[in-house]
Amino acid sequence: MELYQIRYCLALAETLNFTRAAERCFVSQPALTRAIQRLEDTLGGLLFERSKVAVSLTDFGRSMLPSLQQIYAAASQTRDLARRLQQQRPEVVRVGIMCTIDLSAIFPAFVAFQTEHPRTDILFREGSMEALIDALDKGDIDVALLASPYDIARRFAGPVLYREDFVVAHASSHRFGDQAAIAIADLAGEPYCERSLCEYSTYIQRGMEEWGIDVNVVQQTTREDWVQTMIRAGIGVAFVAESTALSGGLSFSHVAGTPFVREVRALLLSDRTRSAAMDELQAFLREFDWSSLPSLKKPVVSED
């Protein structure tokens, strides 16, 4: 017994005319007739008396009619409830955050977004720049917050959210401790903790080589938290993004005359169909006042 068969039967019971019932159900008369015959076969009895001049309900049909009406009403209510529940389900946006971006530093922006868009859930995922690019390509994430010292492939598009300097983080007791700025030459021979997953690590290393600066790499790790612990302990210094130094409570000094600056973007794959929630999030991040966050000192907003 199919729901459409019950619907056709109820229409015929109301109109007692095959033609008008078929019109009401937007089907051909033969299709309506076949459906009612199948319903009668399923129930094991005739629902209608058919003659050349009139159609009427049989005694069996009149007995079955209340039950058929109840079944159809219950099914319609269930369908309407399912539709409402589907409409109430939150949209999900999967956001990849580059592992060298401190989530705690930028999280207020996402909290503000969800306050304005309570029906959108955000799922966060961490990864290196290469891992996030791969995840975007595969459709495993929808938006990626990342930065690169090199050109971003044209298949990705998104605004620059903020720009920040790389600074030299060090222990508060370090000889750089009371210096707001140092010269790149001051790093020569300095014990250095290398952040091997930092997308700017090789870029900065090559820059220092061009200036003839040779640091003494004493530790190398993929763990950002380990690097910060080593810096606080005075094991060595490291170039880190200024927001990382601020949110981590690290002492740091700017390096005069160096071009070590990163631009953090919110990227999507250009040719992929986007949900309304994805567009809303990207637009919100574009317009967000990043200067309101204490860990970001030099915000800038640009177009795609």
Q: What's this model's pTM, rounded to 2 decimal places? A: 0.64
Give buried/exposed letters for 50-69 (b at 16+ CB in 10 A, else e): eeeeeeebeeebeebeeebe
- Map tokens 């601020």 to a residue: 246
Domain with CATH 3.40.190.10 in the chain: 91-162+262-292
CA–CA dist 278, 268 (Å, integer) = 9
Tell which CATH classification among 3.40.190.290, 3.30.365.10, 3.40.47.10, 3.40.50.1950 matches the domain 163-261: 3.40.190.290
Provide the token pair at 304: 């795609």
Domain with CATH 3.40.190.290 in the chain: 163-261
Per-residue pLDDT of the chain (304 residues; tens, 9 = 90+): 888 899 999 999 999 999 999 998 888 999 999 999 999 999 999 999 988 788 999 999 999 999 999 998 998 888 877 777 666 667 888 999 988 888 887 888 999 998 888 888 899 998 888 888 889 888 899 999 998 888 878 888 888 988 888 999 999 999 998 889 999 999 999 999 988 777 788 888 888 888 899 999 999 888 888 999 999 999 999 999 898 888 888 999 999 888 788 889 999 888 788 888 888 888 898 888 888 777 675 444 444 4
Three-state DSSP at 109 gives helix
Q: Which CATH superfamily is domain 91-162+262-292 in?
A: Periplasmic binding protein-like II (3.40.190.10)
CATH 1.10.10.10 assigned to domain 3-87? The reply is yes
**Closest CA relative to residue 184, chosen from 260, 81, 115, 107:** 260
Q: Report yes or no: 164 and 300 within 8 Å, Cβ to Cβ.
A: no
Give buried/exposed letters for 216-231 (b at 16+ CB in 10 A, else e): eeebeeeebeebbebb
Radius of gyration of the chain (CA): 33
- Map tokens 């080589």 to a residue: 209
Provide the token pair at 175: 């000889």
- Map tokens 């040779």 to a residue: 214
Domain with CATH 1.10.10.10 in the chain: 3-87
CA–CA dist 135, 259 (Å, integer) = 29
Which stretches of 148-223 are DSSP H helices?
Answer: 201-210
